[in-house]
Amino acid sequence: MKESIISVHDLKKSYGKHTVLDGLNFEVECGSIFALLGENGAGKTTTVRILSTLIQADSGIAAIAGYDTHRESESVKQKISLTGQYASVDELLTGEENLMMMGRLNHLSRHLVKKRTAELLEQFELTNAAKKQVKTYSGGMRRRLDIAISLLASPKVIFLDEPTTGLDPRSRKNMWNLIQQLAKDGVTIFLTTQYLEEADQLADKIAVIDNGKIVEEGTAEELKCMIGEEKLELTFNDLYAFQNAQELIQGQVHDNERRISIHTGSTESLRQLLNTLHEHGIEPSTVTFRKPTLDDVFMDITSRKRKEHSANA
């Protein structure tokens, strides 16, 4: 394993009685794209805010490049993006003016600010819009300006908290390209997302957060492998057949689509399964094989954890 640049150990955070982070552990490799994947309210932003020194954890360790985010926050700040989602872009200024202003506010020299502004406008395809007021920008352009600002001081680590939420598909694709480009330039990217597809497309490593804990971690491929190879999928037009089939076979039931997904074992067990259905006079409408997607993984992990949770309660 390469050197890790972010280390999180047994990190805990509660608001009153509400436990948000319940002992997080993970490492992020230098120069990689790491995705923290979780549903709304899972604790993604809380994690980002602790790592970027904006709030303090109750206990545990969060370190960037070996510096503790609480005790050595000044050193951490020099390694990370200046603004992230907290960029206060001024609507009335132009894109260029915003970059210049933020550069000066962050004590970069006049010469460096000018140079970085021109580079970033170019890199983020904002050169043509540089002299236009930000209030005329599209959602995608604003996000790009936001990230450009956060890159002014050439940070080692950049936090992108749900960078594509609310963007149209084309702007989302552009943002993905841009994130990949940043990673090529050697920046470590800590991304949070609710979209499995996004994590699948971008991340070298994915950590799934649920109920304040990392419930699974690995590459997209590793996560997909975890739940096995191909799945057999049976669908039923007939409700009665669908209900009876559920009694006879072990599988994941998708009520809305009247579909049952089954992990395929040997050819023999597959034959037995179809025979059993046939003997009971149940004929599926369709029988197909499907490779697992990250969605399957997510469903699998979260439903398994929920079951454990209710069993322990």
Ligand X SMILES: Nc1ncnc2c1ncn2[C@@H]1O[C@H](COP(=O)(O)OP(=O)(O)O)[C@@H](O)[C@H]1O
End-to-end CA, the chain = 38
Per CB under 5 A, 46 contacts Mg ion = no
Among 5, 6, 8, 44, interactor with ligand X by CB under 6 A: 44
The continuous run of DSSP H or E covering 234 comes out as strand 231-235
Binding at 20: pick from ligand X, Mg ion, none (beta carbon under 5-8 Å per type): ligand X
Query: Minimal distance in Å, beta carbon 14 to ligand X?
Result: 9
Per CB under 6 A, 207 contacts ligand X = no
Q: What residues numbered 12-31 form the site for ligand X, per CB under 6 A?
A: 15, 20
Per CB under 5 A, 45 contacts Mg ion = yes
Which residue type does 251 have?
G
Name residues whose C-beta falls within 8 Å of residue 50's C-beta, 6 or more positions apart in sequence: 11, 13, 21, 56, 57, 62, 69
Among 24, 38, 198, 282, interactor with ligand X by CB under 6 A: 38
Cβ atoms of residues 216 and 223 within 8 Å: yes
Q: Which of 58, 62, 135 is nearest to 94 (CA)?
A: 135
Cβ atoms of residues 83 and 53 within 8 Å: no
The window from 38-46, 68-76, 224-232, 239-247 that contacts ligand X (CB under 6 A) reads 38-46
Binding at 212: pick from ligand X, Mg ion, none (beta carbon under 5-8 Å per type): none
Per CB under 5 A, 47 contacts Mg ion = no
Looking at the Cβ atoms of 44 and 231, the one nearer to ligand X is 44
Per CB under 6 A, 43 contacts ligand X = yes
**How many Å separate Cα 159 from the centre of its chain?**
11
Cβ atoms of residues 101 and 123 within 8 Å: no
**Number of Cβ atoms within 10 Å of the Cβ of 225:** 13
The window from 43-51, 147-155, 196-204, 232-240 that contacts ligand X (CB under 6 A) reads 43-51
Task: Give the binding site for Mg ion (CB under 5 A).
Answer: 44-45
Task: Give the binding site for ligand X (CB under 6 A).
Answer: 15, 20, 38, 40-46
